[in-house]
């Protein structure tokens, strides 16, 4: 009985971790966006950073389903805390439709990348490599979609470099790393299409 109770307590404690982390990520990315100098403020205006948070939650989850659920809730928390911090820190509000688009994006991207984070721990190198490549791909795609080479070439180059290095860092072994590196480019193309879709939705409601 004690083991069961202790196990439940540990699981409840684990669920509290992404809640606290979501509040920190939401607030810190807002502060980075508002107060860091040009170029460095990319950290606070990056959907890839938020998805990396969801991936991190998933990688520490018990299974794919838990990773998807907890990461989805965590990323929704990030969105809500970010925009609440925007009002608290700057006094500026955001159009409710824009908030809705980002909440929907978080509600989709959170579970997807939470599941991918858990799959990156899968024993099969192909699955693990593809999951790691998906995380790197969003950084590469974001850099090109927002054309930061024209405005902030150093920031953009850094974001691309992060995207290319992530499959190597996250990969479980050399086979997973090779699979990840091979998949980054095609996955980045798909991620760019998804980012353009979100931009299109934002353009319609803004």
pLDDT value, residue 106: 83
- Give yes or no for a contact between 110 and 53, defined as CB atoms under 8 angstroms apart: no
User: What pLDDT shows up at residue 39?
Assistant: 67
pLDDT in tens, 178-197: 999 999 999 999 999 888 88
Residues 140-162 have a mean pLDDT of: 77
31-82 tens-digit pLDDT = 887 787 776 677 777 888 889 999 999 998 889 999 999 999 888 888 888 8
Question: Quick one: pLDDT at residue 161?
Answer: 92
Q: Which of 162, 204, 163, 161 is nearest to 184 (CA)?
A: 163
**Spatial CA neighbour of 144 closest among 204, 190, 203:** 190
């Amino acid at each position: 009985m004690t083991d069961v109770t202790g196990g439940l307590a540990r699981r409840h404690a684990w669920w509290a971790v992404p809640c606290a982390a979501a509040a920190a990520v939401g607030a810190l990315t807002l502060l980075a966006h508002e107060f860091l100098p040009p170029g460095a403020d990319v950290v606070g205006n990056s959907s890839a950073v938020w998805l990396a948070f969801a991936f991190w939650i998933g990688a520490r989850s018990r299974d794919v389903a838990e990773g998807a659920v907890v990461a989805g809730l965590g990323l929704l928390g990030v969105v809500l805390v970010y925009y609440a911090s925007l009002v608290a820190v700057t006094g500026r509000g955001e159009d409710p439709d824009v908030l809705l688009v980002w909440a929907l994006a978080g509600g989709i991207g959170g579970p997807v990348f939470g599941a991918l984070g858990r799959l990156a721990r899968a024993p099969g190198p192909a699955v693990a490599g593809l999951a790691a490549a998906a995380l790197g791909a969003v950084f590469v795609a974001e850099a090109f979609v927002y054309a930061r080479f024209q405005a902030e070439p150093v920031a953009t180059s850094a974001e691309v470099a992060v995207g290319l290095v992530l499959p190597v860092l996250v990969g479980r072994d050399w086979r997973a790393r090779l699979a990840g590196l091979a998949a980054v480019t095609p996955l980045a193309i798909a991620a760019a299409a998804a980012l353009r879709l979100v931009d299109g939705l934002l353009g319609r409601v803004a």
